Amino acid sequence: MLRCRTMLRKIADITWRRPRLVLAVVALFAVGAGAFGYDVEHHLKAAGFTDSSSESERATSTLRDALGYDATPGIVALVRAPGGGALDTTAPSVRAEVARIAQRLRRVEHVGRVVNPLAEPRAAGGLGIARDGRSLVVTAFLSTQDVEDVGGIAATDARRTVRSDTLDVSFAGFAPGFDEVNDQTRKDLTNAELIAFPALTVLLLLVFRGVVAALIPLLIGVLSIVGTFLFLRIMSSLVDTSLFALNIGTALSLGLAVDYALLLVSRYREEVERHGHGEVAHRATVVHAGRGVIFSGFTVAAAMAALLVMPQRFLYSVGAAGVAVGVLSAVIAILVVPSLLALLGARLDALTLRRGAPPVSATSGGWYRLARGVMRRPVLVALVSGGLLLAAAAPMAGVDFTGPSAKAVPPGQPSYEPGEYLTANYPREVTEAITVTVRGRRPTRTSPGSPGDCGRSRASRARRRSPAPRRTSHSRRCQRGMPRSMEVPRTPCARSATLRHRGRRTCSSRATQRGSSTRRRASSRTRPTSSRSSWSGRRCCCSS
């Protein structure tokens, strides 16, 4: 506490004796920060709502590395007949036009694979044509790891290049929907800022009771925002940083600037009433009000620092921006506001809204009467205030929080109507299939009587009764340890898997109960060869 008071006294002396020097240094900092961080938006990444170390993300990354593209469709091209009529998928003209659409979609930037349901019905899984036969979907898989960041580029390129003169083509899926949600969010934030700044200006004029005094918090907010731009620009060069940190930093900078400027200016006016304009009032303002500013700023920074332990890019970026804003706002306020007060002096109340009005006493006025009324009936005021807050929060009772997906697209966006059509006429697997990544392992010799030995015994008996099964490329890929992607249908199949495992355990228990001679005979009959081990490895991989 003594060190803080000593530091504040030194700041009071510097800002009183050399205010122009302090303001010049801050101005140079603002110019440098603006020159280096003005394009920070182009270095930030969208979203970042997932944990890169989670099981789902690790499985997705493994599959992307093996296949060369994302396993979930990023763009879904909905092809319909003009006017909503039936689509004759057997007509040569329709098949040729759909093939041309698929070919153009393959040329779109960041697209790694395209599935045409008419040319590749097995790859489409029988889900590419609508139940009513009025439409079909051509799915595109993105070839990038950053689906959230470059999906918008692919969606924009697809809308621009993939068109048809004879068929109606529209786009839905994760990439178009996520891009439209981001665009709508930016527009909403811009509109909110355009509304907030005029309202904030009027509010500052009423609270600070003068034009000159009202400009001080705006200046502090601008300097804090520019400093936050510099911080985010440096941070983005070191780690991936979310774009949402920019919006949070801007809003928080303005809020803290108003608080800190009001705290310092109000205290300065009180000290001027006691001691007049001079060094005594200046020093008292910095020492007493400055302590509250510093404590508040570092409290905000400490609270926002809790988000830094979160693995999601969205959360730790917002936390880092909050830490920077809290520290910058406090430091800039404690340096700039006292320097401006020292230069302005009595001119702080120039262009006041209540010229010639007597100063408001601490024991009179509307705020004083309001405070006394609250203290007379605290319980009643608390109940009424709580009821008003609950009434204001009532609309949140029906809110439905969702993650980033095609469902979050607001009405009026280009992908909203195709998305609703896909939901009504296609299974969810078309846009939101659950992908399972299975990694095969090389088969190892197991002791006789183990579950694996029992499985090979049954396999060897089946081979003696029927020709040896043909080894496929899939079996070889499983043995090499490469993953295989399977889309899991919505039909529950856990019971059949449980029965298979129960059968293996029963077979294993029976095998272990045989005599030693029986085990030796089973071992000699089921000694694995290269072909048998390959079939066993394929069987284990496929049943996993």
Amino acid identity of 259?
D
pLDDT attached to residue 284: 92
194 close to 250: Cβ distance less than 8 angstroms: no
Pull the structure tokens for residue 381: 């005021």
The pLDDT of residue 364 is 63
CA distance 432 to 453: 39
End-to-end CA distance of the chain: 64
**Tokens of residue 309, six digits:** 């332990």
CA distance 375 to 370: 9
Does the pTM surpass 0.75? The reply is no
Give the orientation angle of helix 530-543 with respect to helix 451-465, to 10 degrees. 110
- Structural domains in the chain, sorted by start: 2-48+209-350 (1.20.1640.10), 72-178 (3.30.70.1430), 436-486+493-543 (no CATH)
Number of C-beta neighbours around residue 102 at 10 A: 22
The DSSP code sequence of 311-333 is -SHHHHHHHHHHHHHHHHHHHHH
Q: What pLDDT, on a 0 to 100 scale, did the predictor assign at position 459? A: 45
**Four-CA torsion 115, 117, 120, 126, nearest 10 degrees:** 110
Helix (H) or strand (E) holding 140: strand 135-142
- Tens place of pLDDT per residue across the chain (544 aa): 567 778 888 999 999 999 999 999 999 999 999 999 988 988 888 777 778 788 888 888 888 888 888 888 889 999 998 887 888 888 999 999 999 999 999 999 889 899 999 988 877 777 888 877 889 999 999 987 677 778 888 888 998 999 898 999 999 988 888 888 888 877 887 888 788 888 888 888 888 888 888 899 999 999 999 999 999 999 999 998 988 898 889 889 999 999 999 999 989 988 988 888 888 999 999 999 999 999 999 999 999 999 999 998 989 999 999 999 999 999 999 999 999 999 988 888 877 766 555 555 556 667 788 888 899 999 999 999 999 999 999 988 888 777 666 677 888 888 889 988 888 888 887 777 777 888 777 655 544 444 444 444 444 444 444 444 444 444 344 444 445 454 544 444 433 333 333 333 333 343 344 444 444 443 433 344 333 333 333 333 333 3
Spell out the residues 6+ positions from residue 164 whose beta carbon is closer than 8 angstroms to its own: 79, 97, 100, 101
317-368 per-position pLDDT tens digit: 999 999 999 999 999 999 999 999 999 888 888 777 665 555 555 566 677 8
Q: Is 135 helix (H, G, I), strand (E, B) or coil?
A: strand
Task: Find residue 430's DSSP bridge partners.
Answer: none
According to the model, what pLDDT value does residue 129 have?
87
Which DSSP string corresponds to 445-502? Answer: ---TTSHHHHHHHHHHHHHHHSPPPPP-HHHHHHHTT-EEEEEEPSS--HHHHHHHHH
